[in-house]
A and B are shown apart, each in its own frame.
Chain A
Amino acid sequence: MQKQSVFQSRLLPYALVAPQLAVVLIFFYWPAGQAVVQSFLLQDAFGLSTSFVWLENYRELLSQPDYFGAIIRTFVFSFAIAAASLSLALLLAVMADKPLRGGTLYRTLLIWPYAVAPPVVGVLWVFMLNPSLGILAHGLRAIGIDWNPLLDGDQAAALIILAAAWKQISYNFLFFLAGLQGIPKSVMEAAAIDGARPMRRFWTVTFPLLSPTIFFLLVVNIVYAFFDTFGIIDTITRGGPAKATETLVYKVYVDGLLGGNLGSSAAQSVILMIIVILLTAIQFRFVERKVTY
């Protein structure tokens, strides 16, 4: 963790870390701490008095069907987004990893969507699937589906999932490509000589060797689905219709902004923090375990 030879200055190191420490303390720990504290408080209707209510906020939250709905919804979304975007990205990465002509061109053409912002993603997909004038909406109606995400909660959910997965494809693609390139060529050649056809090679050799990357991306995608989808949701459905697309992070926003119930909103934030810390911890522990051979 430390270099052998170091400098001996007394004050300089403190001066060097000071800016980051300051920013981190003011804009991270203080707010995080405040969120925790606030989650234990309850403000009355006029904001005049606050009382310390311990876990009351939490208990109330957890007994709301709305909240459970949001939890389940968020996890369902996350897995759907992760599954869709990971499988498509893996397919593309496997194809792009072959020694084809134009390999770099394909890579360039597939990674730039990473740069597209969530709200823009939202706008693009709204445009395509807008019930009255969207091109894809026309297509869907042509094959008999009554497309109206403004009214149908499931369709709205599908829309969000599609848009979010679309955006993640390029990120996952990049990591899969890097993972594939980490598999020694000679191992694949040995498998070929050992009588394994391409499909069999993929499932018995490539996929197992890719599993650390897959696991890593799974966690990252889930965390992404928890948070980065905010921009997409706010642009397309605003959590509707009837909360069909309200994920946990969106609920924090809505309850705090509109509901004015800061205590509850804070409690939700804290719960989110715990979930994310758990997910990250799991990822660190398991991914670090799978050492390279």
Chain B
Amino acid sequence: MANVALRNVQKTYTGGVKAIKGISFEVDDGQFCVLVGPSGCGKSTLLRMVAGLETVTGGEIDIGGRIVNQIEPADRDIAMVFQNYALYPHMSVYNNMAYGLRNRGMPKGEIDSRVQEAARILEIGPMLDRKPRQLSGGQRQRVAMGRAIVRQPKVFLFDEPLSNLDAKLRIAMRVEIRKLQRRLQTTSIYVTHDQLEAMTLADILVVMNGGQVEQIGNPLTIYQKPATTFVASFIGAPPMNLIRLPDSDFNLEAAGVEAGILGIRPEDLLMSNDAAPAGGIVLDLNVEAIERVGAETYIYGVRAQQRDTPTVSAKPGELPPGEILVRIPGQSGPAIGERIRATAPSEKLHLFSADGRKRIDP
């Protein structure tokens, strides 16, 4: 059990490419920390630096009060679950799990009891004699976790362990991992690009982009008060609607800003024909497309006056310019081509600076 602290950690490759630009945060003992972000944001690199598989070019990594920058992976007392499991193909499941313990000179009896215990927890007892190639993806995943558990390390590191599983299995395993971690109370750092996984697993969430931290905090806090437009559109699906200000439709001198970006989540837009609530907004939309997924309905509309002016430029996870997404529960809803009105109260509005990098709270 230990905490993990990163202090101004940097990674620059030879040739000058800065992969990690100076990241600092702390994970308390027993906490589940998730690093989330799009491909290429540096989250895996950061994890590997904590593991010792990549060198640290600046800053310090501290595990349990000890600075580990120069320490070999084998001596950091960590365990890692890889995206492709990285099981030893030529060893049985039992030996895969026992390998790490044997390397440390543990007596046979204790190795056996640890392996059996882990097998019991993960329900892989019947497979101890099999080789990895005889197992399914989910089973291999559990063996990979078993290998990590028997070590009883200070920190668990997970590198997108669920990415190779099909959707249903992924959801089941997600819950399993969380339950397991709660039970073992081991400090964990988990990397994923899936914001849903991030939201459901994290005690503390680190949103990354381009080698930097965009926001750190409790998942729900981040959801409720995203610090930048990146976080706003990355966390929460479907993504937040972002509208560039000034805009002919709204008048927001109350917030005292001339230019900026206004954000409103699809689920916070209500279909109503009433006037706008005080301080809130009203959007008149032409419905262009409808998606019904059973429990809810997504309405894609274009603002009547906004035909040609783009809102915010389309980036992955964001809507195309001019389009507003409204999410309503249930299966009823307007038809395509209809004109609807959506409103949102002032407390559900998010305001950001013009470059999207700062949150403005009234």
Real complex partners, A and B? yes
Least Cβ–Cβ distance between B145 and chain A, in angstroms: 13
Given the contacts A192-B53, A193-B79, A187 and B100 also touching, CB distance less than 8 Å = no
- Whether the pair A193, B73 counts as a contact (CB closer than 8 A) is yes
- When distances are taken between beta carbons in the complex, the residues of chain A under 8 Å from B84 are 184, 186
Quick check: which of B86-94, B118-126, B235-243 contacts chain A, the rest being far away? B86-94
B250 within 8 Å of A (CB atoms): no
Least Cβ–Cβ distance between A291 and chain B, in angstroms: 8
Cα A195 to Cα B51 with chains together (Å): 12
A209 within 8 Å of B (CB atoms): yes
- Whether the pair A209, B89 counts as a contact (CB closer than 8 A) is yes
- Whether the pair B103, A195 counts as a contact (CB closer than 8 A) is yes
Contact of A187 among B72, B86, B131 (CB under 8 A): B86
Contact of A195 among B74, B82, B86 (CB under 8 A): B74
The DSSP consensus for interface residues of chain A is helix
Given the contacts A192-B74, A193-B51, A204 and B99 also touching, CB distance less than 8 Å = yes
- When distances are taken between beta carbons in the complex, the residues of chain A under 8 Å from B89 are 187, 209, 293
A189 within 8 Å of B (CB atoms): yes
Least Cβ–Cβ distance between A293 and chain B, in angstroms: 4
Least Cβ–Cβ distance between A230 and chain B, in angstroms: 38
- Whether the pair B73, A192 counts as a contact (CB closer than 8 A) is yes
Cα A194 to Cα B89 with chains together (Å): 15
B80 within 8 Å of A (CB atoms): yes
Who on chain B is nearest to A186 by CB? B86
- Whether the pair A195, B100 counts as a contact (CB closer than 8 A) is yes
B108 within 8 Å of A (CB atoms): no
Q: How many A-B residue pairs have CB under 8 A?
A: 64
- Whether the pair B90, A190 counts as a contact (CB closer than 8 A) is no
B78 within 8 Å of A (CB atoms): yes
Among B52, B86, B133: residue with most chain A CB under 10 A? B86
Least Cβ–Cβ distance between B135 and chain A, in angstroms: 11
Cα A205 to Cα B96 with chains together (Å): 11
Given the contacts A186-B82, A189-B82, A193-B79, A293 and B103 also touching, CB distance less than 8 Å = no
B219 within 8 Å of A (CB atoms): no
Given the contacts A200-B103, A204-B99, A194 and B74 also touching, CB distance less than 8 Å = yes
Cα A186 to Cα B89 with chains together (Å): 12
Cα A126 to Cα B84 with chains together (Å): 53
- When distances are taken between beta carbons in the complex, the residues of chain B under 8 Å from A80 are none
A33 within 8 Å of B (CB atoms): no
- When distances are taken between beta carbons in the complex, the residues of chain B under 8 Å from A189 are 51, 53, 73, 80, 82, 86
Chain B 147-162 per-residue mask, 1 if CB under 8 angstroms from chain A, else 0: 1000100000000000
Interface residues of A in 156-207 (CB under 8 A from B): 184, 186-187, 189-197, 200, 204-205
- When distances are taken between beta carbons in the complex, the residues of chain B under 8 Å from A259 are none
Least Cβ–Cβ distance between B148 and chain A, in angstroms: 9
B132 within 8 Å of A (CB atoms): yes
- Whether the pair B88, A205 counts as a contact (CB closer than 8 A) is yes
Who on chain A is nearest to B97 by CB? A194
Chain A 233-245 per-residue mask, 1 if CB under 8 angstroms from chain B, else 0: 0000000000000
Cα A190 to Cα B72 with chains together (Å): 13
Chain A 196-229 per-residue mask, 1 if CB under 8 angstroms from chain B, else 0: 1100100011001100000000000000000000
A sample of 17 more A-B contacts (CB under 8 A), given A189-B73, A192-B72, A193-B73, is A187-B86, A189-B53, A190-B88, A192-B52, A193-B51, A193-B53, A193-B74, A193-B79, A193-B80, A194-B74, A195-B74, A195-B104, A196-B99, A197-B74, A200-B103, A293-B131, A293-B133
28 A-B residue pairings within 8 Å (CB atoms): A184-B84, A186-B83, A187-B87, A187-B88, A189-B53, A189-B80, A189-B82, A190-B82, A190-B88, A190-B147, A192-B53, A192-B72, A192-B74, A193-B53, A193-B78, A193-B79, A194-B100, A194-B103, A195-B74, A195-B104, A196-B99, A196-B103, A197-B74, A200-B103, A209-B89, A209-B90, A293-B89, A293-B131
